[in-house]
Chains A and B, each alone.
Chain A
Amino acid sequence: MHDWRADIRARVSSARLHPQDEAEIVEEVAQHLEQQFAELAPAVGAGPARERLLAQLGDQEFDDAIARRRRRARPTLTRTWSATSLWRDVRYGLRSLRRSPGTVVAGAAALALGIGLTTVMYSVIYGTLIKGVSFEHSARIAGIYYADPARENDQIPFADFVHYRKEQRSFEALGAYFIGTANVSGGDRPDRVDAARMTAGAFEVTGVRAMLGRAFTPSDNDPAAPPTAVLSYAMWRDQYPADSGAVGKTIRVNGRPYTIVGVMPEGFEFPLRSTRIWLPLQTDPDTLRPGQGPGLTVIGRLRPLVRFEQAGAEFATLSHQLATELPPGAAERRAVVEPFVRATLPARVYSLLYAMLGAVLLVLLVACANVANLLLDRAVGRTREIGIRTALGASRLAVIRQSLVESSILALLAAVVGTGIAQAGIVMFNRAFTDNPPFWIDIRLHPPVLLFVLALAIVASLASGLLPAMQSARLDISAILKDESHAASALRVGRLSRTIVAVEIALSSAMLLVAGFMTKSIVQVRAVAPRFASADVFTARVSLTSTDTLRQRQFFETLEHNLATVPGLSGAYLGNGLPGTGWRGGMRGGPLAVEGRAYARPQDYPRARSLAVSPGFFQAFGVAVLRGRAILASDRAESQPVAVVSDAFAQRYFPGAEPIGQRIRFREGGSEGEWMTIVGVMPTLYAASIVSASEDHWPPEVLTAFWQEQRLSSANIALRGSASVASAAILRKVVVALDPEAPVYATATMDELLARSNWSVHLFGTMFVIFGIVALVLAAIGLYAMMAFSVSRRVREMGIRMALGATSADVIRVVCRQGATQILIGMSLGLLAGAALVRLVRAMLFEVQPNDPVVFALVAGVLGTVALVACIIPAIGATRVDPVIALRTE
């Protein structure tokens, strides 16, 4: 059939009539022509008939008809988009939202949760990764390190740093430091504080001036210069009650006098928040060859307009030059220049935090989907209103805009509430965050974070408003105005809203899966049995200022003896570390050799974590050897070196053989230690790590004899007994009696230490669990709303079914079958996506494999149950339908 309307519209369009006038003339004339054509075509043939009628349209007289239809001005775009009309839309939107408070509360609450969680996550990322260090010209502050693909990234030896400082042109300030602790005396009791050995350049890079006196100058770093010290504000306040005359006084550090030259201002907490005192790096570079000297963290401020890549290229060249001076056989190392935060934080922190941001964006998406569905339901209820608006001349654009204005009102409301939620979340996050975070981390609602919230609100209003808006704009006006009962079918929301719900379920099952793995991790962490006593064990560290090795040994031997006489203690331990968190050898353990075996490459050496322990270890921590003997009091410096290995060690390195009687030795810095005879095998003890939850917690372990150590300048102490006896006060009393200058510090119970090592699992795990629960609740609400809506539209059908003899069970089955499809599709897709997501957050998993079927089953079970309940409630409602009433309702 010929489309006369298109021809007429083309003829009329140039007149730019009001849309409604245009529509009317097109319709009227088209009907006329259709009828004429139907009459004419059989007589003269379709072709000629069409030509004759089209000729009529071309007649000039028709212009007169068009002109007479110009009854009102065509609305112009400026009118549609003027401020007053927008304001009118806003007021209209507010009025119409006030009529449905349920939608407002549910929609705004869902979006507020989504926006709040996302904002917390973004504040964390902004404060940790994006904001950078809080110094002047922070965008130009760089960190420089040696990249080593085989190992963790490495610090730069002092000799190399001196070379770079001399040769480089990229930085206007370049400095270096290493952190440690120092015994400081002068106050009421000796104290061990966090200290940093710095070059003058490091102060220069920060650009922070001393509050009193001065910071270091290059002359302080001269090896021959008298030792100087710069105090932190906290130390100045506590030790020299804010005395402005403190500068010039002498402070004893590690038993030596240092002259105080300056006090830094409050808030200068660098390189650690806990740093209390800065001491000058006074190493003499002339005695060192490349690759030698203490390992340093190098920090620099780029010259203006120099890019990180340029500086990186320069340092790569310099490190290549240095390699020619290295002793033969030493591996060449490449210096890397990166923005300070990126150079300092390991890549896994980035991937974890961004994975979490991705996760909360999923939650936000679920919330948007919910609101979209809510608005869609509302659009159905308002079909007639929209039809009338359109008939009265509202353009599609205006209808879409009205809809978007309403979703924007919801989103803005949600943004305000969400910011409040975020603020609360940030407070909780900071409380649970590590005690001593890196100095630049500052997590709060920074202005860029608030901008992010605004952007989120806009995205959320578009994401949740556009679909319903377009759907309403597509309505057929005449169909709506004719008959309201068919209006809903004109709005084809059924399929759309079912798709939205399926997507919601998919997103939330992905989230829930991650939450499931996190929950299992948290449960595992809590339930872990370390295989050593931790409940009534008090720990501390004692350091000596004396450098006389004989006196040091005497001190600790007497300390061991005196502690043994304290009544109420059931065990006292001295060693160079603590089980659990304090194993020596780093994450992977130190390399060692077994006698009689050859190792071709450095990576072939077995690795083990180790502790040098006093005989009291076994009593204090309640550990019994499985075979052989423990470390005994008779294992002294002059007797044969011995070791006790863990079960895991025996199984990995002596499979099927007896390790007792074999000899092993550690390799430290490329040199070999003394051969030690294995005398016993103990159960494998728990090894916690604050770095990564996913590593091996039951690694090969070696215990050596503390009294066979060469140097004993400090020791970890563990006392077992009730809290009143095994305490800092008792230990201090015993220590001070021996040496009034020896500080007792790092005091904590073993339980606290273990809990502290798990903070990242607890914190990030809990966050994922919150995300998962919120996503689940939102998806359940979404499903419930969709089912309730669908049931309300099928009341008549249910009435008929029941009138024809359907039982309640039949009705429930019919309703639930509809929801079950969405649940199944959404869940399958979501679990697949979730499995991929879990791999991203692997570092947070504590002894759970990312493919653990139990977690999958559990998550599917929880989600399925919740989803079914969300379906069944409306279904039960459907069974209460009275057939008589249902059949009467239209």
Chain B
Amino acid sequence: MLTDALKKGSAEFLILSLLEAEPRHGYELQKLIESRSDGVLTFNVASLYPLLYRMEERGWIVGRWVEKAGERRRRFYRLTAPGRATLDAQRESWREFVTAINRVSGVRYA
């Protein structure tokens, strides 16, 4: 299990990257994070939505009620331009961070 601080920091990055490909709704995001992290990162409504709403407040993502044929109206979040810039910046700093860790720990990338 990761510590809360690390989880929060990484969660925002994860959500941004998950939204890069296509808009998704809250539940889908929770499932994807869980499965992609092999259950290391778990969320529930009490932890996910404060995050989503904060990101929305910052203008990184935007939620829209969308209706798809044969489905209920749901709130889908998509990446905004500032969100994309944030994702790129985070990706860059993550890469730098990982490189630094590797150098320090001597672990080599395959």
- Is chain B a partner of chain A in the same complex? yes
Nearest B residue to A58 via CB reads: B46
Q: Are A56 and B50 in contact (CB under 8 A)?
A: no
Interface digits, A6-39 against B, CB 8 Å rule (1 contact, 0 not)? 0000000000000000001101110111011000
**CA gap between A478 and B74 in the complex, in Å:** 12
Q: Are B73 and A29 in contact (CB under 8 A)?
A: no
Q: Which residues of B contact A57 (CB under 8 A)?
A: 45-46
Q: Are B50 and A68 in contact (CB under 8 A)?
A: yes
Q: Are A478 and B45 in contact (CB under 8 A)?
A: no
Q: Interface residues of B toward A: which range?
A: 20 to 34
**CA gap between A32 and B73 in the complex, in Å:** 12
Most chain A beta carbons < 10 A, residue from B47, B49, B63, B72: B49
Most chain B beta carbons < 10 A, residue from A36, A61, A482: A61
Query: In terms of DSSP, what is the predominant structure of the interface of chain A?
Result: helix
Q: Are A65 and B27 in contact (CB under 8 A)?
A: no
Q: Which residues of A contact B46 (CB under 8 A)?
A: 56-57, 59-62, 65
**CA gap between A328 and B56 in the complex, in Å:** 106
Q: Are B67 and A33 in contact (CB under 8 A)?
A: no
Interface flag for B54 (CB, 8 Å): yes
Query: In terms of DSSP, what is the predominant structure of the interface of chain B?
Result: helix
Select which of A24, A33, A68 is within 8 A of B45 by beta carbon.
A33
Closest beta carbon of chain B to A173's beta carbon, Å: 82
Interface flag for B44 (CB, 8 Å): yes
Q: Which residues of B contact A50 (CB under 8 A)?
A: none
Interface flag for B23 (CB, 8 Å): no
Q: Are B74 and A31 in contact (CB under 8 A)?
A: yes
Q: Which residues of B contact A68 (CB under 8 A)?
A: 50, 53-54, 56-57
Interface digits, B27-67 against A, CB 8 Å rule (1 contact, 0 not)? 10010000000000000111111100110110000010101
Select which of B44, B57, B63, B72 is within 8 A of A31 by beta carbon.
B72
**CA gap between A59 and B49 in the complex, in Å:** 12
Q: Which of A36-64 contact B (CB under 8 A)?
A: 36, 53, 56-57, 59-62, 64
Select which of A24, A35, A36, A482 is within 8 A of B67 by beta carbon.
A482
**CA gap between A400 and B73 in the complex, in Å:** 27
Interface flag for A69 (CB, 8 Å): yes
Most chain B beta carbons < 10 A, residue from A31, A32, A62: A32
Q: Are A65 and B49 in contact (CB under 8 A)?
A: yes
**CA gap between A35 and B46 in the complex, in Å:** 15
**CA gap between A27 and B46 in the complex, in Å:** 15
Q: Are B50 and A62 in contact (CB under 8 A)?
A: yes
Interface flag for B75 (CB, 8 Å): yes
Q: Are B27 and A36 in contact (CB under 8 A)?
A: yes
Closest beta carbon of chain A to B35's beta carbon, Å: 13
Nearest B residue to A71 via CB reads: B57
Q: Which residues of B contact A53 (CB under 8 A)?
A: 45
Q: Which residues of A contact B67 (CB under 8 A)?
A: 482
**CA gap between A68 and B27 in the complex, in Å:** 19
Q: Are A32 and B53 in contact (CB under 8 A)?
A: no
Select which of B27, B50, B53 is within 8 A of A35 by beta carbon.
B27
Q: Are A61 and B26 in contact (CB under 8 A)?
A: no
Q: Which of A261-299 contact B (CB under 8 A)?
A: none
**CA gap between A560 and B57 in the complex, in Å:** 114
Select which of B30, B53, B73 is within 8 A of A65 by beta carbon.
B53
**CA gap between A65 and B55 in the complex, in Å:** 11
Q: Are B45 and A32 in contact (CB under 8 A)?
A: yes
**CA gap between A29 and B48 in the complex, in Å:** 10
Q: Are B50 and A65 in contact (CB under 8 A)?
A: yes
Q: Which residues of A contact B47 (CB under 8 A)?
A: 59, 61
Nearest A residue to B28 via CB reads: A35
Nearest B residue to A35 via CB reads: B27
Closest beta carbon of chain B to A599's beta carbon, Å: 93
Q: Are A29 and B44 in contact (CB under 8 A)?
A: no
**CA gap between A690 and B83 in the complex, in Å:** 95
Select which of A36, A60, A62, A482 is within 8 A of B49 by beta carbon.
A62
**CA gap between A64 and B45 in the complex, in Å:** 11
Closest beta carbon of chain A to B23's beta carbon, Å: 14
Closest beta carbon of chain B to A479's beta carbon, Å: 11
Closest beta carbon of chain A to B52's beta carbon, Å: 8
With A29-B49, A35-B27: A56-B44 Cβ-Cβ less than 8 Å:
yes
Closest beta carbon of chain B to A72's beta carbon, Å: 13
Q: Which residues of B contact A60 (CB under 8 A)?
A: 46
Q: Which residues of B contact A59 (CB under 8 A)?
A: 44, 46-47
Closest beta carbon of chain B to A638's beta carbon, Å: 113
Given contacts A31-B27, A68-B57, 13 further A-B contacts (CB under 8 A): A25-B49, A27-B75, A28-B49, A31-B72, A32-B27, A32-B30, A35-B27, A36-B45, A61-B46, A62-B45, A64-B50, A64-B54, A482-B67
Pull 22 A–B residue pairs with CB atoms less than 8 Å apart, ordered by A.
Answer: A24-B65, A27-B75, A28-B49, A28-B75, A31-B25, A31-B27, A31-B72, A32-B27, A32-B30, A32-B48, A36-B27, A56-B44, A57-B45, A61-B46, A62-B45, A65-B46, A65-B49, A65-B53, A68-B50, A68-B53, A69-B53, A482-B67
CB within 8 Å of A: which residues of B? Answer: 25-27, 30, 44-50, 53-54, 56-57, 63, 65, 67, 72-75
10 interchain residue pairs of minimum CB distance = A59-B46, A68-B53, A64-B50, A65-B49, A65-B50, A62-B46, A56-B44, A61-B46, A28-B75, A32-B27
